[in-house]
Chain A
Amino acid sequence: AQSVTQLGSHVSVSEGALVLLRCNYSSSVPPYLFWYVQYPNQGLQLLLKYTTGATLVKGINGFEAEFKKSETSFHLTKPSAHMSDAAEYFCAVSRAGYSSASKIIFGSGTRLSIRP
């Protein structure tokens, strides 16, 4: 079975400050890991994903995440927060290998607020 835990349901940072959103996963098989962003009253949009290869992955809007197998973590970071980054962020996990049976499990989400 797979699961995702996002630490902190709400994170608030100042504009220009470092953004760090935490995600830990549990998986009995090699995982694929994802970060999605959701703006109010909208669907989710993929920020970035880790499948294989380089453990540091870069996504859209200046975000990046690092897969750390030893820590079972996939934390999302951005060096400098912008007001437009305010949104809900979801970490997700699936089993490695793309197949019709791949099931993507989402965490409970972290709401990011940006202070002027």
Chain B
Amino acid sequence: EAEVAQSPRYKITEKSQAVAFWCDPISGHATLYWYRQILGQGPELLVQFQDESVVDDSQLPKDRFSAERLKGVDSTLKIQPAELGDSAMYLCASSLNTGELFFGEGSRLTVL
């Protein structure tokens, strides 16, 4: 069964360092989402791509976060510099625009 792949699963970093997360969506899924999930809360949309174009990045803290999907397939989310408040689970999801999101297992970030 096709899955959304994310790496790394776990990342521990010190504040002010740079960190990057990678996501490979299910083949053929044009829409890709990055969500941030703080412990005990629901996922919050950071950025949404349709193919290689950004559809919505209104909640992305653009002073330190960036996201790209250069060839419209896999995607990278970067944080530089990381802050203590960035500790969270970063979830990637993809969709065929059927209303169903397929999520990866997430990348858990701890900033010390």
Contacts and interface: CB of A to CB of B under 8 A. Distances in A.
A68 interface: no
Nearest to B44: A106
B42 A109 contact: yes
Interface residues of A, number: 26
B99 A103 contact: no
Interface of B: 4, 30-31, 33, 35, 40-45, 48, 50, 55-56, 91, 93, 97-101, 103-106, 108
A102 B30 CA distance: 13
B55 A104 contact: no
A62 to B, nearest CB: 19
Nearest to B49: A100
Contacts of A105: 45
A102 B97 contact: yes
Contacts of A34: 99-100
6 contacts: A43-B91, A90-B43, A100-B31, A100-B50, A106-B43, A109-B42
A9 B42 CA distance: 11
Contact of B106 (A42, A46, A104): A42
A94 to B, nearest CB: 7
Contacts of B42: 90, 106-109
